């Protein structure tokens, strides 16, 4: 209960925030988080080999969706000898094939991670560990398996043509022996 001393001043409990004031504070915080969180999530964990492979999986799945939606042919190029990868697009008016997408920037494989084996179906094992994989308006053109290894662990990044998905998993020691890596 408040008592009025005069018409402008009141004695008693202080007034809380209004709904409008709370909504303004929440909207400012949400705008800040909308800008800041994606930047931190893209950087988090990419330093580790598993984080790099997970990020490459996300990029390739994004590339599948982009090629289907835009009805363009994109090519993922991976050079295991030099440890680099890039993306190019086949379209009119872009003879060098530059991809203008902030998520599909060229990159390099971390130094502790080695690409030890590349398999493409059809075609078999690629000897030089250099591969170009086309992504067409119907999805992945060829199924592929990329075997990565560090001193302790091995991973498989697999593109499955029938379901148009790229998945990764850690290999057990038995699977490493079966794959010959």
In whole angstroms, what is the distance from residue 74 CA to residue 139 CA?
A: 10
Mean pLDDT of 164-176: 90
Query: Is position 5 within any domain?
Result: no
Can you give the pTM of this predicted structure? 0.70
Domains identified in the chain, total number: 2
Q: What is the pLDDT of residue 100?
A: 85
In whole angstroms, what is the distance from residue 75 CA to residue 135 CA?
A: 6
Q: What is the pLDDT of residue 1?
A: 52
In whole angstroms, what is the distance from residue 101 CA to residue 84 CA?
A: 18
List, for residues 57-113, the tens digit of each pLDDT value.
Answer: 999 999 999 999 999 999 999 988 898 999 999 888 778 888 888 888 998 988 899
Contact partners, residue 96, CB within 8 Å, separation at least 6: 88
CATH number assigned to the domain comprising residue 152? 3.55.40.10
- Domain of residue 157, residue span: 49-179
Any idea which residue has 């984080």 for tokens?
51
| Joined tokens for residue 161 | 């043509």
List, for residues 119-159, the tens digit of each pLDDT value.
Answer: 888 877 777 778 888 999 998 888 999 999 998 899 999 99
Query: Is position 2 within any domain?
Result: no
pLDDT band at 170 (very low <50, low <70, confident <90, very high): very high
């Amino acid at each position: 209960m408040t008592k009025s001393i005069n018409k402008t001043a009141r004695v008693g409990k202080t007034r809380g925030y209004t709904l409008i004031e709370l909504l303004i504070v929440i909207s400012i915080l949400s705008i800040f988080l909308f800008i800041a969180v994606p930047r931190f999530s893209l950087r988090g964990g990419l330093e580790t080999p598993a984080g790099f492979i997970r990020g490459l999986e996300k990029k390739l799945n994004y590339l599948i969706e982009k090629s289907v939606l835009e009805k363009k042919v994109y090519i993922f190029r991976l050079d295991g000898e030099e440890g680099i990868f890039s993306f190019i697009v086949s379209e009119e008016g872009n003879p060098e094939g530059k991809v203008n997408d902030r998520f599909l920037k060229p990159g390099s494989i971390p130094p502790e991670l080695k690409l030890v084996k590349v398999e493409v179906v059809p075609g078999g094992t690629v000897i030089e560990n250099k591969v170009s994989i086309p992504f067409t308006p119907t999805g992945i053109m060829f199924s592929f398996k990329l075997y990565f290894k560090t001193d302790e662990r091995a991973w498989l990044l697999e593109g499955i043509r029938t379901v148009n998905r790229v998945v990764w998993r850690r290999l057990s020691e038995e699977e490493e022996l079966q794959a010959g890596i």
